[in-house]
Amino acid sequence: MLYPLVLIALAAAPLALLARLPGRDRIAWGLALIPLAIFGLTLAQAGPVWEGGQIVERIAWVPALGLDLSFTLDGLSLLFTLIITGIGTLIVGYAGHYLGADSGLGRFLAYMMLFMGAMLGLVLAGNVLTMFVFWELTSVTSYLLIGYKHDYADARRGALHSLLVTGGGGLALLVGLLLLGQAAGSYELRDILAAGDVLRAHALYPAAVILILLGCFTKSAQIPFHFWLPGAMQAPTPASAFLHSATMVKAGVYLMARLSPALGGTALWDVTLAVVGGATMTFAAIVAMRQFDLKAMLAYTTISMLGALTMQIGLGGKYGAEGVATNILAHALYKSALFMLAGVIDHECGTRDLRRLGGLRAYMPQTMVITALALLSFGGIPVMFGFVAKELMLEAALETDLGATLSVLAVAAIAVTAAAYLVTGWRLFSNTFLGQRSMAAMQQHVTDPVPGMLIGPGVPAALSLIIPLALLGPISGLIGPASTAIYGKPLEVELALWHGVNTALLVSLGAIAVGVGLARFGEQLANMRGWPAWSRGDMIFDRLIERTLAGATALTRTIQEGRLRRYILVTALAMLLFVGVPFASFGLGAIRFDLDPQLQFYEVLAVALIPVGVLATILARTRLGAIIAAGVVGAMVSLLFVLFSAPDLALTQLLIEVLSTVFLLLVFSVLPVRFESFSAAWVRRRDAIVAAAMGLLITGLVLATATNDAFAPLAPFFLENSLEKGKGANVVNVILVDFRGFDTMGEITVLFIALLGIYGLLRLRQGKNDVAPERVTTAEPAAEPVDTKR
């Protein structure tokens, strides 16, 4: 039963609101049992997966659309599920301490549970559409978590950036997945993975790959979309540790790894991933080295690691698959620990600025030991789990099928990155724990936090050491099925600390030597001049948003500037453009000129009087003349109804015509007695051209559609059933009161509303805006007198 795993987390969200109550840290540890239970439930049913099998589950969701809610547990899903729930357990407990003083803890943990459910759904989904739904849910919950401290402008900005970037990528992803499903003939992951050869040869393949990669690159913060992740560090630290290092940002990596057996193996996929991933890895590693904010530093190293994972998927091969799986686990362990430790330091010292920290070794010895463990794994120092993972990454680069150039470049990039990691790690450690006692440490009574707060970072940091020393066997059993899923073919994985003296080890040791050598110059490197601020991704993105909004405002001001005739002109022009142009291009062939042999001269006369009346209305010099001319038009329309078998219409039209004329005369009697032209001659010429084009378009449309008999007329139904079912001989009336009685009810409602409006306009005069005409000019003295004599 896989879906309860997702459901439990989602259903736990309301429960998490309990953490509003006092005793928040204990309640949080209680809530941490929920992810722990999911962890246990997953392990309990994962039996077949260890042997390389998978569990598949389908629930009919929208059977009519062939859309099933399907879940799959295979090696890769299992690895992610265990990371999400395992780290999740620690983080929920840790959050209780970190946000213990904050009454919003309940809301925070509720978001976290929702996120966890979404993330579990994402990695367990067996259908790409199901997966997409959860993918978007992670974006939304991430937005809520980053914007948790919503009274800070930076938090709102960071949240908005992440939502816009990942949401935009999500749109691309959706289209990509739809194309993928079209090409594969199914949206089930299993079918897609089985259709690899068909997919790679399909015409839609390049478009699908590019769109899917856009989604993955935005989610996993690859260049040039990386800028949202440092901004997301505005989230409370537990969220950063969980979402923005261990889980959500790896969703893009997950999807690429998941689809690589089906989509990989082409230059488009492999080289794009290797190059973008490698560039992201190196660039972010160098940027990270120069940060002063603990969390910013960790954020950039996370981007770097996401780049490394992407690159390894691109490099491919046995080692690529193993490297991805191993690095995902190793990174999740040491990076979640480091984030939680950054939170501990921030929590105790009130700052996470490296320039204001220092000398904490005497005050926070336990924290220092745990940090050292996590940093050693991060730096890839031998015997740590990070070292094992880095060796696999180097093997993947050395053994890649993508050619010697890319192989050498990848090895060099990994070496540079590894050296930069060491400098970063050393700067983080020395500036925090070594050196002079800092102001921050002196001002506050700084000590190690309560033990409960150190469990969170302590467990993964310790695992980073214990796994390579004692647990490589069982962990290989987990990495093996995961690598198999990434590789697409069964893989036997035997993780080992010692592979003998080989190229990977030599490169690794060389990088460590360089890193250690550079580490003493860390502060000089950090203080060197960097890129100007305007070239930073988030600044460019802000400007892009500003320009878009300014452009939208300018456009709105142009087409909706307040004067009615501008609105009508824009509407008419839009109609001419969007209906007229396509009609003139494709529709003219549909026009038929059917001559009517029964045409009578009085019919011609009645019809001909309509354009004449229209022209007279326009050209009339007096209001009375215009009303009379319009009345002629109305009378001719009534006459046409008489001539063409519509007696009810003729009667109604005539009645309304009379009423309209009376009303018109009434209204006109109170309006100013002017009827001259307000507009300049060129405006009138322009309007005449637009109006003539409009008339031509409508004439053409009538000719093209009225003579079209592509559809069976509805009339016979009403004619045949009128007496029998409607009990009436006048079919028009039967339609009005019976067949389409609800239309008539709507009509009556409209009339009633119009009546209410008219009543309100005419009778409710006590409004405060009511200004008598002669008082208008006095009410607005100098500013802008209303010119009534224009």
Q: Which of the residues 617 through 646 are near other proteins (CB under 8 A)?
A: 617-618, 623, 626-627, 630, 633-634, 637, 640-641, 643-646
Q: Does 540 bind other proteins (CB under 8 A)?
A: no
Q: Does 678 bind other proteins (CB under 8 A)?
A: yes
Name the β-bridge partners of 55: 73
* C-beta of 366 vs 617, nearer to other proteins: 617
* C-beta of 535 vs 645, nearer to other proteins: 645
Task: Report how far residue 66's alpha carbon sits from residue 10's, in angstroms, rounded to the nearest whole number.
Answer: 25
Q: Determine whether 736 is exposed, middle or buried from the number of CB atoms within 10 Å of its CB (0-12, 13-18, 19+).
A: middle
**To the nearest whole angstrom, how small is the minimum distance from the Cβ of residue 616 to other proteins?**
10
Task: Compute the residue count for the chain.
Answer: 790
* C-beta of 545 vs 706, nearer to other proteins: 706
* C-beta of 405 vs 669, nearer to other proteins: 669
Task: Report how far residue 391's alpha carbon sits from residue 418's, in angstroms, rounded to the nearest whole number.
Answer: 11
Q: Does 680 bind other proteins (CB under 8 A)?
A: no
Task: Report how far residue 453's alpha carbon sits from residue 458's, in angstroms, rounded to the nearest whole number.
Answer: 9
Q: Does 60 bind other proteins (CB under 8 A)?
A: no
Q: Determine whether 315 is exposed, middle or buried from the number of CB atoms within 10 Å of its CB (0-12, 13-18, 19+).
A: buried
From residue 562 to residue 581, the character string flagging contacts with other proteins as x (rule: CB under 8 A) and all else as - is xxxx--xx--x---------
User: Using CB under 8 A, which of the segments 128-136, 212-220, 265-273, 590-598 binds other proteins?
Assistant: 590-598
Q: Which of 715, 742, 766, 781 binds other proteins (CB under 8 A)?
A: 715
Q: Which of 197, 494, 546, 743 binds other proteins (CB under 8 A)?
A: 743
Written as one string, the DSSP assignment of 91-158 is HHHHHHHHTTT-TTHHHHHHHHHHHHHHHHHHHHBSBHHHHHHHHHHHHHHHHHHHTTSTTSHHHHHH
User: Using CB under 8 A, which of the segments 8-16, 82-90, 209-217, 654-662 binds other proteins?
Assistant: 654-662
* C-beta of 201 vs 753, nearer to other proteins: 753
**To the nearest whole angstrom, how small is the minimum distance from the Cβ of residue 720 to other proteins?**
7
Judged by CB under 8 A, the number of residues near other proteins is 114
Q: Which of 501, 647, 682, 742 binds other proteins (CB under 8 A)?
A: 647
User: Using CB under 8 A, which of the segments 305-313, 425-433, 515-523, 714-722 binds other proteins?
Assistant: 714-722
Q: Do 314 and 330 form a contact (C-beta atoms < 8 A)?
A: no
* C-beta of 43 vs 703, nearer to other proteins: 703
Q: Does 558 bind other proteins (CB under 8 A)?
A: no
Q: Does 679 bind other proteins (CB under 8 A)?
A: yes
Q: Does 719 bind other proteins (CB under 8 A)?
A: yes
* C-beta of 151 vs 596, nearer to other proteins: 596
Q: Which of 152, 521, 602, 663 binds other proteins (CB under 8 A)?
A: 663
Tokens of 610: 């309509």
The secondary element (H helix, E strand) that includes residue 69 is: strand 67-73
Q: Does 713 bind other proteins (CB under 8 A)?
A: yes
Q: Does 450 bind other proteins (CB under 8 A)?
A: no
* C-beta of 443 vs 733, nearer to other proteins: 733
201-212 burial, b if ≥16 CB within 10 A, otherwise e? ebebbeebbebb
Q: What are phi and psi of 731, to 5 degrees?
A: -65, -35
Q: Does 696 bind other proteins (CB under 8 A)?
A: yes
* C-beta of 450 vs 754, nearer to other proteins: 754
How many other CB atoms are there within 10 angstroms of residue 190's CB atom?
15
Q: Does 770 bind other proteins (CB under 8 A)?
A: yes
**To the nearest whole angstrom, how small is the minimum distance from the Cβ of residue 587 to other proteins?**
14
Tokens of 419: 């050296």
Closest by Cα among 258, 159, 269 to 211: 269
**To the nearest whole angstrom, how small is the minimum distance from the Cβ of residue 554 to other proteins?**
18
Q: Does 598 bind other proteins (CB under 8 A)?
A: yes
Task: Report how far residue 19's alpha carbon sits from residue 21's, in angstroms, rounded to the nearest whole number.
Answer: 5
* C-beta of 280 vs 653, nearer to other proteins: 653
Task: Using alpha carbons, list the distances in angstroms from residue 208 to 34, 168, 212, 316, 562.
Answer: 38, 16, 6, 20, 45
Q: Which of 59, 490, 674, 778 binds other proteins (CB under 8 A)?
A: 674
Task: Report how far residue 768's alpha carbon sits from residue 227's, in angstroms, rounded to the nearest whole number.
Answer: 53
For 293, the 3-state DSSP assignment is strand
Cis link prior to 224 (omega < 30° from 0)?
yes
Task: Report how far residue 390's alpha carbon sits from residue 133's, in angstroms, rounded to the nearest whole number.
Answer: 34
Q: How far is CA 307 from the centre of its chain?
A: 21
Q: Does 648 bind other proteins (CB under 8 A)?
A: yes
**To the nearest whole angstrom, how small is the minimum distance from the Cβ of residue 788 to other proteins?**
5
Q: Do 327 and 308 form a contact (C-beta atoms < 8 A)?
A: yes
* C-beta of 50 vs 739, nearer to other proteins: 739
Q: Do 49 and 55 form a contact (C-beta atoms < 8 A)?
A: yes
Calculate Rg over the CA atoms of the chain: 36
Q: Which amino acid is at 270?
A: D
**To the nearest whole angstrom, how small is the minimum distance from the Cβ of residue 647 to other proteins?**
5
Q: Which of 65, 594, 621, 766 binds other proteins (CB under 8 A)?
A: 594
From residue 359 to residue 388, the character string flagging contacts with other proteins as x (rule: CB under 8 A) and all else as - is ------------------------------
* C-beta of 588 vs 776, nearer to other proteins: 776
User: Using CB under 8 A, which of the segments 71-79, 414-422, 527-535, 725-733 binds other proteins?
Assistant: 725-733
For 402, the 3-state DSSP assignment is coil
Dihedral sign for Cα atoms in the order 33, 35, 40, 45: positive
Q: Which of 37, 171, 632, 732 binds other proteins (CB under 8 A)?
A: 732
Q: Does 604 bind other proteins (CB under 8 A)?
A: yes
Tokens of 268: 């488009």
Tokens of 324: 């991805």
Q: Which of 60, 550, 608, 624 binds other proteins (CB under 8 A)?
A: 608
Q: What are phi and psi of 62, to 5 degrees?
A: -125, 80
Written as one string, the DSSP assignment of 346-369 is HHHHS--BTTT---GGGT-HHHHH
Q: Does 62 bind other proteins (CB under 8 A)?
A: no
* C-beta of 586 vs 593, nearer to other proteins: 593
* C-beta of 151 vs 784, nearer to other proteins: 784
Task: Report how far residue 305's alpha carbon sits from residue 296's, in angstroms, rounded to the nearest whole number.
Answer: 14
* C-beta of 448 vs 687, nearer to other proteins: 687
Q: Does 561 bind other proteins (CB under 8 A)?
A: yes
How many other CB atoms are there within 10 angstroms of residue 348's CB atom?
21
* C-beta of 445 vs 563, nearer to other proteins: 563
Task: Report how far residue 34's alpha carbon sits from residue 642's, in angstroms, rounded to the nearest whole number.
Answer: 78
Q: Which of 532, 761, 766, 781 binds other proteins (CB under 8 A)?
A: 761
Closest by Cα among 271, 262, 253, 399 to 326: 253
Task: Report how far residue 364's alpha carbon sits from residue 377's, in angstroms, rounded to the nearest whole number.
Answer: 20
User: Using CB under 8 A, which of the segments 11-19, 296-304, 513-521, 613-621 binds other proteins?
Assistant: 613-621
**To the nearest whole angstrom, how small is the minimum distance from the Cβ of residue 651 to other proteins?**
10
* C-beta of 7 vs 690, nearer to other proteins: 690
Q: Do 148 and 109 form a contact (C-beta atoms < 8 A)?
A: no
**To the nearest whole angstrom, how small is the minimum distance from the Cβ of residue 559 to other proteins?**
14
* C-beta of 195 vs 736, nearer to other proteins: 736
Q: Does 656 bind other proteins (CB under 8 A)?
A: yes
Closest by Cα among 20, 19, 37, 36 to 28: 19
Q: Does 506 bind other proteins (CB under 8 A)?
A: no
Tokens of 20: 């509003």
